[in-house]
């Protein structure tokens, strides 16, 4: 299968995420993004008429990529009890193992304006509803969701105080909880 051609829009979004990681989300500028993406500022503005539109697209892209990855992971576990919550937990563990940086696009959007969190709230509500609906126990799904999102938030805001042993203990306990069918 031939590699898909990367569009200018995709290059701009990738550049924006990288600039946010490099200089901090609050310092993301359209000029820096255009330079990193190797497009003119006019080319950037053609795709994203304002910084707000660029940040909105970054948030939407992050949510879309996460949802697609979760769906792929769940498909691999079809027929297993609690396949969605198990997939969600495994994705989180993979993020930790790969030491993936926090979603800089989300941080950039938050730094610009808290209103950009509305799509994140909607996405998270739908995700939690889905986790609860596909779990053998709604309370179990809620506990796993809250624990993982709490750990993710600690990393996002760079205030993680958990030792590796504490983190592993929590993740092992969550995995055992997910594997229990009742």
Residue 105 has pLDDT above 90, yes or no: no
pLDDT digits (tens, 9 = 90+) for 57-88: 888 888 899 999 999 999 998 778 889 999 99
Share of the chain above pLDDT 90, in %: 53
User: Is the model more confident about 89 or about 104?
Assistant: 89
Instruction: Check residue 3 and give its pLDDT.
Output: 43
**Cα separation, 42 vs 88, whole angstroms:** 40
Residue-wise pLDDT for 109-154, tens only, equals 666 677 777 888 899 999 999 999 999 899 999 999 999 999 988 8
Predicted pLDDT at 1: 40
Q: Residue 100: is its pLDDT beyond 70? A: no
d(CA 102, CA 83): 25
> Looking at 14-18, 102-106, 161-165, which range is the least confident one?
102-106
Average pLDDT of the residues of the chain: 86
Per-residue pLDDT at 79: 75
78: which 2 tokens? Answer: 């079809």
H helices present in the chain, as ranges: 8-23, 30-37, 41-47, 51-76, 83-97, 104-112, 118-133, 138-156, 164-179
Would you list the domain boundaries of the chain?
54-179
For residues 153-163, average pLDDT: 87
- What pLDDT, on a 0 to 100 scale, did the predictor assign at position 147? 97
pTM of the model: 0.79
């Amino acid at each position: 299968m031939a590699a898909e051609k990367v569009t200018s829009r995709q290059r701009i979004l990738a550049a924006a995420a990288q600039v946010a990681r490099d200089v901090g989300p609050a310092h993301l500028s359209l000029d820096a993004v255009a330079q990193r993406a190797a497009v003119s500022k006019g080319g950037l503005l053609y795709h994203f008429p304002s910084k707000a539109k660029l940040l909105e697209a970054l948030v939407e892209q992050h949510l879309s990529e996460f949802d697609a990855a979760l769906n792929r992971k769940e498909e691999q576990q079809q027929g297993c009890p609690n396949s969605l919550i198990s997939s969600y937990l495994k994705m989180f563990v993979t993020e930790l193992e790969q030491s993936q940086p926090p979603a800089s696009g989300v941080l950039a959007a938050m730094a610009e304006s808290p209103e950009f969190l509305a799509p994140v709230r909607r996405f998270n509500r739908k995700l939690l509803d889905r986790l609860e609906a596909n779990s053998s126990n709604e309370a179990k799904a809620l506990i796993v969701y809250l624990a993982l999102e709490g750990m993710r938030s600690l990393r996002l805001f760079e205030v993680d105080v958990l030792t590796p042993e504490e983190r592993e203990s929590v993740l092992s306990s969550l995995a055992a909880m997910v594997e229990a069918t009742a």
